[in-house]
Structure 1
């Protein structure tokens, strides 16, 4: 619905009250000045500007919010309730519905974090349409009771789901069975080791181009654009002590393989099919799909990590985020400063997610039980 996109873009384009600084406030002397009435033209956003504003929101977030809003709309229609603006009672009943209704994919109700996201999707929807946020006091009480019940039942959903950390021993196991004589094997080794060494999200990893890689005396410098914090980090990729897990050697081998296939610019990580063909054309219904240059998708990169962990018979919850979490955990265990870890991985200052990764190490190393003579 284009109208929804325009309203969302307009909301993002207008500063919130918290964004206004004192220097922008109007003096009382202007209280009697003529009030400017904005016309439809003043409120107009071109399709190009709407698209530019939309691009600032991650595709995954936009898709998730869209699905949550559709589900809320369908439930309201079934219950005979108004969607927007929604009453406090509607919000409380809807959240209770989410806590007791099994989802088709998992055959169990949504977890607390998923419900939190759905609540956010609906409250922001109100703002986009010019309404105040609905009263969420009852809805939050329902969600808190749900958290307590899950914790008492020792349910898996009681704790936030986290990707298993890919630490050096696990990475060695993942790569041990990789055939590095093939284009796919060489790419996968470089993908895993550069992903770990740069603490990159898979979306950041597959966005790398040849131009982002520079050979250096210490190995390589790889410049990653961290979209969440909107800045570049240049990561020094150093030689590893084990040739099998050395990111410099893996990247050099991968670059040489690409050069042999006639690739010297464009995407660094390309799709490879089962016949080891580089960047084969993809079609659906006779129409070309995928990046025409052959760039891998973030989903494909995550699948590589999951598949390698599965082939190595590693237990845990493996995903594209395993490399990023593994970097933070391993670096902290090696005694590196949290600030330097955050800078290298593009975490925002005071990141709660990074702090949680640090806690995995610090809760043991800095435990009050250490050295007390038990």
Structure 2
């Protein structure tokens, strides 16, 4: 899954994820009896599905499959689900360890599961169940974990890979190799663009890049969350080892020596240094046939590279996006300029959320600022 997990109220329309209500009476049949216009032609269903992020769609499908299994076990109706059914399911999830982790679901996953159930109802044409009781279960669970100082009470966030972190990670790369050049360019460009892994992996050379007169690039990035294209200028850096432009050029030249002069900028490279090798699972090809790195592969590059430094944290591709915010804040850049460079809306709550608690420490602590202002006033002759 790409980047930060979040609850998305999206609609699902695939029939195989909408369990039947009774033996020979699917949701579509029941809807047609109530309202003859309550149906969508196949092409309209496809159009709706195209608007749902793939990661969200996969997560919601798994959530509904497990909800259906539980309903069958306890003899409850899957759809339309009674409010009490959803509440009881949340209580069950809170108390039941998962086989994979040995721990129950966390509150954030339970919020997503509630959204899955509501969205599946809308996709089938049913009124979503009232989830007030279910959300109270989650709220109480979150407080219980918070008081116990359990990390599961907090949203899982990538640790920001700011300029300081990247400097240490890059120092441990062998940048004479193709893998080292790729990894350096991927991390520096991801930080420079404030990109998600899902925005970084699709970049092409030269298609996504336009040369600038001052020596940098204008990069065409598709901001997935806002569903819009953005042109981001990447300029040369005075520190050569931290220069994104230099790192990208070095990678492009190395790729050209391997005969790859256009197409994906970031390629899969195996442990022997072979580029774009076909991957298989159970004898079937997987991965992008062009050899393009996957979003998970980009995350692996970040986590593997920073892990070598020994720095603690949850390192993944989203660390680059969060790290850009921290680097820019440390440099005194206005938050509006940060947001516009990184493709955030001017009113984005997510961007504000990226300003960590540590951003209000030391020199940025409001009390320190108040004290400085008071001393300045006193020095100017004030009382």
TM > 0.5 fold call: yes
Alpha-carbon distance change, 349 to 103 in structure 1, aligned in 2, over 3 angstroms: farther
How far does residue 77 in structure 1 lie from its aligned partner after superposition?
A: 1.1
Contact conserved, 1:332 with 1:361, CA < 8 A, in 2?
A: no
- Partner Cα distance (1:95, 1:140) in 2: 8
How far does residue 340 in structure 1 lie from its aligned partner after superposition?
A: 1.6
Instruction: Choose which of 304, 323, 339 in structure 1 pairs with 2:320.
Output: 323
Instruction: Choose which of 36, 45, 51 in structure 1 pairs with 2:46.
Output: 51
- Partner Cα distance (1:342, 1:373) in 2: 29
- Partner Cα distance (2:64, 2:344) in 1: 30
- For residues 65-88 of structure 1, the C-alpha deviation after alignment (integer angstroms, 9 at most, x for no partner) is 011111111111111111111112
How far does residue 45 in structure 1 lie from its aligned partner after superposition?
A: 2.1
Secondary structure of 1:221's counterpart equals: strand
How far does residue 371 in structure 1 lie from its aligned partner after superposition?
A: 4.3
Question: Does the alignment pair 1:221 with 2:222?
Answer: no
- For residues 324-369 of structure 1, the C-alpha deviation after alignment (integer angstroms, 9 at most, x for no partner) is 0000111122121222211111123322221011244542354331
Question: Does the alignment pair 1:156 with 2:122?
Answer: no
- Partner Cα distance (2:370, 2:18) in 1: 62
Moved more, 310-319 or 202-211: 310-319
Contact conserved, 1:270 with 1:279, CA < 8 A, in 2?
A: yes
TM-score with structure 1 length normalisation?
0.86
- Partner Cα distance (2:310, 2:284) in 1: 38
Corresponding residue of 2:97: 102
Question: Does the alignment pair 1:146 with 2:141?
Answer: yes
- Partner Cα distance (2:110, 2:204) in 1: 37
- Partner Cα distance (1:88, 1:288) in 2: 44
Give structure 2 stretches of 5+ with no counterpart.
Answer: 1-12, 20-34, 373-383
How far does residue 370 in structure 1 lie from its aligned partner after superposition?
A: 1.2
- Partner Cα distance (1:237, 1:291) in 2: 27
Corresponding residue of 1:22: none
Alpha-carbon distance change, 358 to 207 in structure 1, aligned in 2, over 3 angstroms: same
- Partner Cα distance (1:148, 1:214) in 2: 50
Secondary structure of 2:340's counterpart equals: helix
- Tell me the matched-pair count: 343
- Partner Cα distance (1:66, 1:245) in 2: 42
Secondary structure of 1:224's counterpart equals: strand
Corresponding residue of 2:196: 201
Question: Does the alignment pair 1:134 with 2:136?
Answer: no
- For residues 176-227 of structure 1, the C-alpha deviation after alignment (integer angstroms, 9 at most, x for no partner) is 1211111111111100000000011101101101100122224112111112
TM-score with structure 2 length normalisation?
0.84
- Alignment RMSD (CA, Å): 2.3
Instruction: Choose which of 56, 60, 66 in structure 2 pairs with 1:65.
Output: 60
Secondary structure of 2:190's counterpart equals: helix
Alpha-carbon distance change, 273 to 154 in structure 1, aligned in 2, over 3 angstroms: same
Contact conserved, 1:5 with 1:50, CA < 8 A, in 2?
A: no
Contact conserved, 2:17 with 2:64, CA < 8 A, in 1?
A: no
Give structure 1 stretches of 5+ with no counterpart.
Answer: 8-37
Question: Does the alignment pair 1:298 with 2:298?
Answer: no
